[in-house]
Structure 1
Amino acid sequence: MSPDGLDPQVWPASTVVGPDGAVSVAGVDLRAVAAEHGTPVYVLDEDDFRARARTFRAAFTEAFAAIGTEVDVYYAGKAFLCTAVARWAVEEGLRIDTATGGELAVALRAGVPGPDIGLHGNNKSDAEIDRALEAGVGRVVIDSLPEVARVAEAVRRYRARHPEAMLRRAPVMVRVTTGVHAGGHEYISTAHEDQKFGLSVAGGQALAGLRAVLDHPELELLGVHSHIGSQILDPSGFEVAARTILDLRAELAAVTGHLVAEVDLGGGYGVAYLPGEVPLDPSRIAKDVARVVQDACADLHTPVPRISVEPGRAIVGPTTLTLYTVGTVKPVTVDAAGPDGTGSFTRTYVSVDGGMSDNLRPALYGAHYTAAVVSRRGSPGTVRARVVGKHCESGDILVHDVALPADVAAGDLLAVPVTGAYGRSMASNYNHVPRPPVVAVRAGGTRVIVRRETEDDLLALDVG
Structure 2
Amino acid sequence: MRAHEAGALHADGYGSPAWLALPRDVNALIPSLWASSVGRGTDGALTVGGVSVHDLAREIGTPAYILDEADFRARARDFRDTYTEVFADLGGGADVYYAGKAFLCTEVARWIRDDDLRLDVCTGGELAVAMRAGMPGARLGLHGNNKSVPELEQALRYGVGRIIVDSYDEIDRLTDVARRLDTVARVMVRVTVGVEAHTHEFIATAHEDQKFGFSLSGGDAAEAVRRILGAAPHLELIGLHSHIGSQIFDTSGFEVSARRVLALHAAVAKEHGVELPELDLGGGFGIAYTTEHDPLPPKHLAAGMAEIVDRECRASGVSVPRISVEPGRAIAGPSTFTLYEVGTVKVVDLDGGAARAYLSVDGGMSDNIRTALYEANFSCTLAGRTSTAPPRLSRVVGKHCESGDIVVMDEFLPADVAPGDLLAVPGTGAYCRSLSSQYNHTPRPPVVAVRDGRARVLVRRETVDDLLALDVG
> Which of the five TM-score ranges fits, normalised by the shorter chain?
over 0.9
Aligned residue in 1 for 2:354: 345
Aligned residue in 2 for 1:339: none
Question: 1:276 offset after TM fit, Å?
Answer: 5.2
User: Quick check: 2:93–2:322 contact (8 Å CA) kept in 1?
Assistant: yes
Identical pairs, percent: 58
Aligned residue in 1 for 2:81: 58
Structure 1 residues 371-450: aligned runs within 5 Å: 371-450=380-459
Quote the RMSD (CA, aligned, Å).
1.3
1:39 is aligned to 2:62? yes
Aligned match for 1:328, one of 344, 347, 352: 344
Aligned residue in 2 for 1:89: 112
User: Quick check: 2:91–2:319 contact (8 Å CA) kept in 1?
Assistant: no
Aligned match for 1:191, one of 176, 190, 206: 206
User: Quick check: 1:175–1:224 contact (8 Å CA) kept in 2?
Assistant: yes
Deviation track 1:411-455 (CA, whole Å, cap 9, x = no partner) reads 000000000000100000000000000000000000100000000
Aligned residue in 1 for 2:32: 9
Question: 1:79 offset after TM fit, Å?
Answer: 0.3
Structure 2, unpaired ranges of 5+: 1-22
Secondary structure of the corresponding residue to residue 9 of structure 1 = helix
CA distance in 1, matches of 2:111, 2:209: 36
How many residues matched?
A: 449
Aligned residue in 1 for 2:467: 458
Aligned residue in 2 for 1:306: 322
Letter in 2 for 1:78: K
Deviation track 1:38-64 (CA, whole Å, cap 9, x = no partner) reads 000000000000100011111111111
Letter in 2 for 1:134: R
User: Quick check: 1:2–1:8 contact (8 Å CA) kept in 2?
Assistant: no
Please report the TM-score for the alignment, with normalisation by the length of structure 2.
0.93
Aligned residue in 2 for 1:162: none
Aligned residue in 1 for 2:365: 356
Aligned residue in 2 for 1:155: 178
CA distance in 2, matches of 1:11, 1:289: 26
1:48 is aligned to 2:46? no
Aligned residue in 2 for 1:124: 147
Aligned residue in 2 for 1:216: 231
CA distance in 2, matches of 1:95, 1:299: 30
Deviating runs (4+, > 3 A) in structure 1?
1-4
Please report the TM-score for the alignment, with normalisation by the length of structure 1.
0.95
Aligned match for 2:44, one of 15, 21, 24: 21
Deviation track 1:225-267 (CA, whole Å, cap 9, x = no partner) reads 1111111112100111111111110011111111111000000
Question: 1:2 offset after TM fit, Å?
Answer: 12
Aligned residue in 1 for 2:159: 136
Question: 1:68 offset after TM fit, Å?
Answer: 3.8
User: Quick check: 1:9–1:279 contact (8 Å CA) kept in 2?
Assistant: no
Question: 1:127 offset after TM fit, Å?
Answer: 0.9
User: Quick check: 1:28–1:441 contact (8 Å CA) kept in 2?
Assistant: yes
Secondary structure of the corresponding residue to residue 248 of structure 1 = helix
Aligned residue in 2 for 1:248: 264
Question: 1:18 offset after TM fit, Å?
Answer: 1.9
Aligned residue in 1 for 2:3: none
Aligned residue in 1 for 2:185: 170
Letter in 1 for 2:417: V
User: Quick check: 1:379–1:406 contact (8 Å CA) kept in 2?
Assistant: no
Aligned residue in 1 for 2:5: none
**More deviation, 49-58/16-25:** 16-25
Question: 1:157 offset after TM fit, Å?
Answer: 2.0
Aligned residue in 2 for 1:274: 290
User: Quick check: 1:16–1:24 contact (8 Å CA) kept in 2?
Assistant: yes
CA distance in 1, matches of 2:283, 2:391: 38
Secondary structure of the corresponding residue to residue 186 of structure 2 = strand
Question: 1:183 offset after TM fit, Å?
Answer: 4.6
Deviation track 1:110-144 (CA, whole Å, cap 9, x = no partner) reads 11011111110001111111111111100111001
Question: 1:67 offset after TM fit, Å?
Answer: 2.2
